[in-house]
């Protein structure tokens, strides 16, 4: 039994009770022997990792597809017939198909080999050391050796090694964004909670994997390993099934459908030929069976899996150039089909860098410009750069005082980027002070000599400093909650003057606070007071009286500059944006409103409210709600699952550990490459190398273009293969009408098995692959996402495939009738010449079809020269066909005869009828679509 799982919530127990339950002395900690016993009993403080899937099994899984089964069956039957014929030469057709299958499996294996490392990355993330008290002695031990009851000692810069209940907290702030989504560092205290609260509000707990950014603390370890909050996420990640992509499902359905159709067509053709032909020997039976197998191979686009993988791989390379790294090939198409993007706020829509947005002082409002921690940007007042004067004087005092009453540090790295050490909120003052250009002067002027730390009870922080410009006079600077500071202020700073705190000034200051709070900004005020000579020996809170009020700042984690336009583009494409965050509801709603996700004044649905909803209530909520706040990982999973149940293709973005299960469950998980944890990167199917939300939109555009290209080459392959099948099938049924019989009336095969395989070789893979990289010609972001129930090969495409296939067959049969004696048109050529002409017509008809298949309704003449690779593959196909017709050794191998110029002209003209018919069909379709539009 897992004893840790049975413990009550320590956040709701007082510290003495927690210590008693854990059987530990809070003054000395555990003894070394007891710690060892508990380590042996509960196991190491690590996350369980399932053994990785063996490489051979991962490779074998790439073959588990109905289309691959069909191809392997064709290989098997072809080899049997080859053996029955005496195993002469090489079974080229079987070898080619087998090579395609193997290469496709290897490509898929190489792309997916890293997907099994998510849990291992989670374990690596938490491999840290921790300082503990054992036997009354401070020790630093491996995080893996922490046990329940250990007395954990925390200080700035530490990574918390286990879940623990705080006993003491001295200005302790912990960054929990990776676990809860809370953008601000959380101020901790040891007070007992009276009732259950969400994870982000458990102020008396610290959690495994989070980071201490300020202060010190002492805590009792209450959970280790898989019993921690991070362990719970690891369990969710391990038990969350990975969904097959829509493209994978579609290709499987195509494989099953083609398998059934192939067996039926081959069986009908073989039986029909046997019934209409006098069988004289076993060789005749083998010939008919070989035709059936060849026809089956012709009906199956054996290059489809490999072409599909190659097209997706090329798309992946194009996306990588746009900073979107796709790990799973089939995810490219999924992103293009996304109808909902569920995005985290902190670090994804916002910069995860606190910044002062507004400064309100007696003389007005100042607005620092610029984003991030780079100290570059102007300070503006009413749109103009702030000029010297009363407001400037107040702002200098405001930002310098706020920076002095803080412990953050701003540094520039070797690569030129700027980073902070300490609390992000305090860093916001420091960055704004740099922008004002007074940082160096403040450092030279003031010398800090003492500090009264921030606590949740005091809600303020004070520092004592020496002012070297005023005869080393001592001064106290206080920064804290506006309501607390205003109660302690008897005067106010107005320009360069200090005036009494009148009712009007107080009302104005309180109105400023309300204005900033209504804008979902975090508010902090600054006040100060020079100390008299008789006060210099005093210390503590007695000095925090009769302060001079300076003003209030509004702080926010600002949105990324490019996100708003990216969201507009996504919405134009019919994609709904949903924000899911662990942050405060009001802050979430403010950011969502600024970015255009919701209307101004909209609200967020919270985690506790989600808990109160049943499945029906949740289903209704996700239809109408686009902002969720104060949620935990299980809530994110419920939201994603509910959206998928409503038929949406869901993309989920995130960077924190808490996002990993939802990323894995979503149709496509998008991890942040810079701020994202290794866990998130491994759980997602795509990684944004630049953490730029706009990159998602670019990836969606690329995905939609790839989906269009997939439809192009599917249209081409299926219509071309259908042409081959119908040619043989209709020729057998109508043999007597076209003169396709021998002297005794037996049906003669219209094409030889080797000719059918040759057609597949030169016309399938090359043009199809070229269409897979066709440039985008339509506004792919100007249409709605593809519905999950909308087939890639829909009824309209099937109709076109059947029509073009039938047209190819009729053109080929017309050629046979034209060249052969007898039939409806009297010809005078030999069977070999007629077969060669029909063979050539079918090849050229498919090459013409390559241009036709680029669009369902658009003319082949539009953008005719845009795809040079298509022209290259068509040109190669023409040269190879000329070679098989005119080279003697190929004549012998493929049963062909040389054609004269007139016969070539006839073949090209007849083959072009496929393109002519297609142009007429598309013109009519455009007219009908236009009429419907009107």
Nearest to 658 by CA among 347, 222, 195: 347
Q: Kindly give, in sequence order, each residue whose CB lies less than 8 Å from that of residue 870, ignoring residues fewer than 6 positions away.
A: 767, 770, 771, 774, 850, 851, 854
Closest CA to 222 of 34, 42, 28: 42
pLDDT tens string 588-641 = 888 899 899 998 878 889 888 998 999 899 999 999 999 998 887 778 888 999
Integer Cα distance of 160 and 224 in angstroms: 11
pLDDT higher than threshold 90 for residue 59 = no
Q: Return the minimum-mean-pLDDT range out of 26-35, 56-65, 333-342, 668-677.
A: 56-65
Q: Which of residues 532 and 265 earns the better pLDDT score?
A: 532
Structure tokens at 112: 């997916």
Residue 210 has pLDDT above 80, yes or no: yes
Q: How far apart are CA 862 and CA 774, in angstroms?
A: 13
Tokens of 833: 């010449």
Q: Pick the residue with more confidence: 852 or 8?
A: 852
pLDDT tens track for 819-865: 988 778 887 888 899 999 999 999 999 999 999 888 888 888 888 88
Closest C-alpha to 783, from 569, 573, 933:
573
Q: How far is CA 425 from the centre of its chain?
A: 30
pLDDT of residue 296: 66
Q: What percent of the chain has pLDDT over 90?
A: 31
CA distance 578 to 574: 13
If you average pLDDT over each of 310-324, 444-458, 665-679, 762-776, which comes out highest?
444-458
Distances (CA, A) of 801 to 90, 198, 559, 797, 879: 33, 56, 48, 6, 26
Looking at per-residue confidence, does 53 or 490 come out higher? Answer: 490
The continuous run of DSSP H or E covering 616 comes out as helix 615-624
Residues in the chain: 934
- pLDDT given at position 758: 81
User: What letter would DSSP give residue 546?
Assistant: S
Rounded CA-CA distance 422/165 in Å is: 23
pLDDT value for 840: 95
> Does the pLDDT of residue 117 top 50, yes or no?
no
What pLDDT score was predicted for residue 793? 75
Select the highest-mean-pLDDT range: 94-103, 314-323, 499-508: 499-508
Distance CA 65, CA 244 (A): 12
What average pLDDT does range 428-436 have in this prediction?
A: 93
Residue closest to 94 by CA, chosen among 80, 81, 84, 79: 79
As to burial, measured by CB atoms within 10 angstroms (0-12 exposed, 13-18 middle, 19+ buried), residue 65 is buried
Q: State the Cα–Cα distance between residues 266 and 299, nearest whole angstrom.
A: 9
Strand, coil or helix: 48 = coil
DSSP string, 452-475: E---TTT-EEEEEEEETTTTTEEE
Q: At what angle are helices 831-852 and 753-763 packed, to 10 degrees?
A: 20
Residue 30's closest CA among 175, 154, 139? 139
Say yes or no to pLDDT of 383 above 50: yes
Please, are residues 687 and 676 in contact by the beta-carbon 8 Å criterion?
Answer: yes
Q: Which residue did the predictor score with more confidence, 109 or 914? A: 914
Q: Using CA atoms, how far apart are residues 75 and 263, in angstroms rounded to an integer?
A: 14
Please list the alpha-helical segments (H only) found in 150-244: 177-180, 229-239
**Mean pLDDT of the 406-414 span:** 86
Contact assessment for residue 131 and residue 158, using Cβ atoms and an 8 Å cutoff: yes
925: buried, middle or exposed (CB in 10 Å: 19+, 13-18, 0-12)? middle
Which residue from 684, 65, 713, 704 is spatially nearest to 334, judged by alpha carbons? 704
Where does residue 537 rank: exposed (0-12), middle (13-18), buried (19+ CB within 10 A)?
A: exposed
Instruction: Give the separation between CA 805 and CA 813, rounded to whole angstroms.
Output: 12
Dist. CA 164–CA 222, nearest whole Å:
5
Contact between 593 and 602 (Cβ < 8 Å): yes
What is the reported pTM?
0.65
Q: What residues are paired with 572 via a beta bridge?
A: none
Question: Under DSSP, is residue 170 helix (H, G, I), strand (E, B) or coil?
Answer: strand
Given a cut of 80, is residue 242 above it in pLDDT? no
Task: Give the confidence band of 643 by pLDDT, cuts at 50, 70, 90.
Answer: very high
Residue-level pLDDT at 653? 83
Residues paired with residue 159 on neighbouring β-strands, in sequence order: 211
C-beta separation of 431 from 359 below 8 A: no
Cβ distance 299 to 670 under 8 Å? Answer: no
Residue 3 predicted with pLDDT over 60? no
pLDDT digits 0-9 by tens, 537-551 = 566 678 899 999 999
Question: For residues 284 and 242, what is the distance between their CA atoms, to the nearest angstrom?
Answer: 51
Phi, psi of 418 (to 5 degrees): -110, 135
Q: What is the mean pLDDT of the chain?
A: 82
Average pLDDT over residues 106-127: 47
What is the spatial distance between Cα 211 and Cα 207, in angstroms, rounded to a whole number? 9
| Confidence at residue 534, expressed as pLDDT on a 0 to 100 scale | 73
Task: Report the Cα–Cα distance between both ends of the chain, in Å, rounded.
Answer: 70
* DSSP states along 817-880: HHHSSSSSS-----HHHHHHHHHHHHHHHHHHHHHHTT-SSS-TTTTTTS-HHHHHHHHHHHHH
Where does the pLDDT of residue 391 fall: very low under 50, low under 70, confident under 90, or very high at 90 and above?
A: very high
Kindly state the average pLDDT of the residues 121-149.
Answer: 78
Residue 421 CB partners (closer than 8 Å, separation 6+): 408, 409, 411
Residue 786 dihedral angles phi and psi, to the nearest 5°: -70, 130
pLDDT of residue 759: 83
Whether residue 489 is predicted with pLDDT greater than 90 in this model: the reply is: yes
Q: pLDDT tens digits for 685-721?
A: 888 777 777 788 888 888 888 888 888 888 888 888 8
Give DSSP secondary structure letters for 249-267.
Answer: HHHHHHHHHHHHHHHHHHH
Strands 547-556 and 489-494: parallel
Residues labelled as active-site residues: 344
As a whole number, mean pLDDT of residues 354-370 equals 92
Between the alpha carbon of residue 25 and those of residues 135, 140, 142, 197, 906, the distances in Å are 9, 19, 21, 28, 100
- Reduced to 3 states (helix: H, G, I; strand: E, B; else coil), residue 933 is helix
User: What pLDDT, on a 0 to 100 scale, did the predictor assign at position 633?
Assistant: 72
pLDDT score of 257 more than 80: no
Say how far apart CA 625 and CA 609 lie, in whole Å: 12
**pLDDT confidence tier of residue 910, bands split at 50, 70 and 90:** very high
Average pLDDT, integer, range 182-211? 85
* 344-353, 552-561, 740-749, 796-805: least confidently modelled range: 740-749
């Amino acid at each position: 039994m897992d004893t840790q799982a049975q413990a009550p919530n320590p956040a709701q127990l007082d510290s003495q009770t927690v210590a008693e339950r854990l059987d530990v002395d809070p003054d000395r900690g555990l003894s070394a022997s007891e710690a060892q016993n508990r380590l042996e009993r509960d196991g190491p403080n690590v996350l369980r990792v399932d053994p990785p899937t063996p490489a051979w099994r991962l490779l074998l899984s790439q073959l588990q597809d109905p289309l691959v089964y069909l191809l392997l069956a064709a290989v098997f039957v072809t080899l049997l017939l080859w053996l029955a014929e005496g195993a002469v030469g090489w079974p080229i057709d079987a070898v080619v198909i087998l090579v395609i299958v193997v290469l496709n499996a290897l490509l898929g294996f190489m792309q997916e080999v890293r997907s099994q490392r998510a849990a291992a990355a989670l374990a690596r993330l938490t491999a840290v050391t921790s300082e503990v008290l054992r036997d009354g002695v401070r020790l630093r031990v491996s995080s893996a050796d922490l046990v329940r009851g250990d007395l954990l000692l925390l200080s700035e810069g530490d990574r918390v090694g286990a879940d623990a209940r705080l006993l003491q907290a001295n200005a302790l702030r912990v960054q929990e964004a990776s676990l809860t989504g809370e953008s601000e560092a959380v101020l901790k205290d040891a007070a007992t909670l009276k009732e259950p609260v969400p994870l982000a509000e458990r102020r008396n707990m610290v959690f495994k994997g989070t980071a201490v950014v300020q202060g010190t603390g002492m805590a009792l370890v209450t959970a280790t390993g898989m019993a921690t909050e991070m362990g719970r996420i690891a369990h969710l990640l391990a038990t969350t099934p990975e969904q097959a992509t829509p493209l994978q499902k579609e290709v499987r359905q195509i494989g099953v459908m083609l398998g059934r159709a192939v067996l039926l067509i081959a069986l009908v053709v073989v039986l029909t030929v046997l019934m209409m032909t006098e069988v004289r020997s076993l060789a005749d039976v083998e010939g008919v069976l070989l035709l059936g197998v060849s026809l089956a191979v012709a009906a199956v686009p054996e290059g489809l899996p490999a072409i599909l993988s190659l097209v997706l791989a090329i798309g992946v390379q194009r996306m990588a150039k746009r900073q979107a790294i796709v790990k799973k090939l089939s995810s490219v198409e999924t992103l293009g089909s996304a109808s909902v993007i569920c995005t985290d706020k902190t670090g994804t829509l916002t910069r995860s860098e606190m910044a002062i947005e507004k400064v309100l002082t007696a003389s007005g409002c100042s607005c620092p410009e610029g984003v991030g921690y780079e100290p570059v940007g102007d300070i503006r007042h009413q749109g103009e750069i702030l000029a010297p004067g009363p407001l400037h004087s107040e702002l200098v005092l405001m930002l310098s005082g706020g920076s002095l009453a803080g412990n953050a540090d701003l540094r520039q790295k070797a690569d030129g980027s700027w980073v902070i050490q300490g609390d992000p909120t305090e860093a916001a003052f420091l960055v704004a002070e740099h922008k004002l250009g007074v940082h160096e002067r403040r450092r030279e002027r003031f010398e800090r000599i003492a500090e009264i730390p921030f606590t949740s009870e005091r809600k303020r922080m004070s520092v004592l400093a020496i002012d070297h410009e005023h005869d080393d006079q001592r001064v106290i600077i206080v920064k804290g909650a506006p309501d607390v500071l205003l109660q302690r202020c008897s005067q106010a700073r107005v320009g360069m003057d200090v005036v009494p705190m009148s009712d009007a000034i107080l009302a104005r200051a309180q109105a400023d606070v309300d204005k900033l709070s209504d804008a979902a900004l975090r508010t902090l005020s600054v006040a100060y007071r020079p100390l008299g000579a008789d006060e210099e020996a005093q210390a503590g809170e007695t000095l925090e009286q009769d302060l001079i009020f300076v003003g209030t700042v509004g702080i926010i984690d600002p949105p990324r500059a490019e996100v708003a336009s990216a969201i507009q583009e996504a919405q134009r494409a019919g994609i709904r944006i949903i924000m899911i965050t662990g942050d405060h509801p009001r802050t979430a709603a403010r950011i969502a409103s600024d970015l255009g996700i919701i209307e101004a004044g909209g609200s967020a649905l919270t985690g506790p409210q989600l808990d109160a909803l049943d499945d029906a209530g949740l289903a209704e909520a996700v239809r109408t709600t686009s902002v969720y706040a104060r949620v935990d990982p299980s809530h994110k999973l419920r939201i994603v699952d509910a959206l998928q149940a409503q038929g949406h293709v869901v993309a989920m973005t995130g960077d924190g550990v808490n996002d990993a299960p939802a990323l894995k469950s979503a149709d496509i998980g998008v991890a942040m490459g810079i701020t994202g944890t290794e866990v998130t990167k491994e759980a997602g199917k795509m990684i944004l190398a630049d953490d730029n939300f706009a990159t998602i939109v670019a990836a969606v555009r690329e995905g939609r273009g790839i989906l269009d290209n997939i439809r192009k080459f599917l249209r081409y392959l299926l219509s071309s293969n259908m042409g081959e099948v119908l040619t043989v099938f209709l020729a057998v049924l109508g043999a007597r009408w076209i003169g396709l019989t021998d002297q005794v009336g037996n049906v003669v095969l219209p094409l030889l098995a080797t000719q059918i395989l040759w057609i597949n070789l030169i016309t399938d893979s090359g043009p199809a692959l070229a269409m897979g990289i066709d440039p985008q010609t339509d506004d792919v972001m100007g249409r709605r996402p593809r519905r999950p129930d909308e087939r890639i090969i829909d009824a309209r495409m099937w109709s076109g495939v059947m029509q073009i296939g039938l047209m190819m067959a009729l053109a080929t049969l017309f050629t046979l009738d034209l060249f052969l004696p007898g039939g409806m048109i009297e010809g005078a050529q030999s069977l070999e010449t007629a077969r060669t002409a029909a063979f050539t017509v079918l090849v050229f008809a498919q090459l013409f079809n390559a241009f036709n298949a680029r669009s369902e309704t658009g003319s082949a003449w539009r953008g005719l020269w845009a795809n040079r690779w298509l022209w290259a593959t068509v040109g190669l196909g023409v040269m190879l066909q000329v070679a098989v017709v005119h080279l003697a050794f190929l004549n012998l191998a493929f049963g062909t005869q040389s054609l004269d110029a007139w016969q070539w002209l006839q073949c090209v003209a007849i083959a072009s009828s496929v393109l002519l018919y297609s142009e007429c069909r598309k013109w009519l379709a455009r007219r009908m679509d236009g009429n419907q539009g009107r």
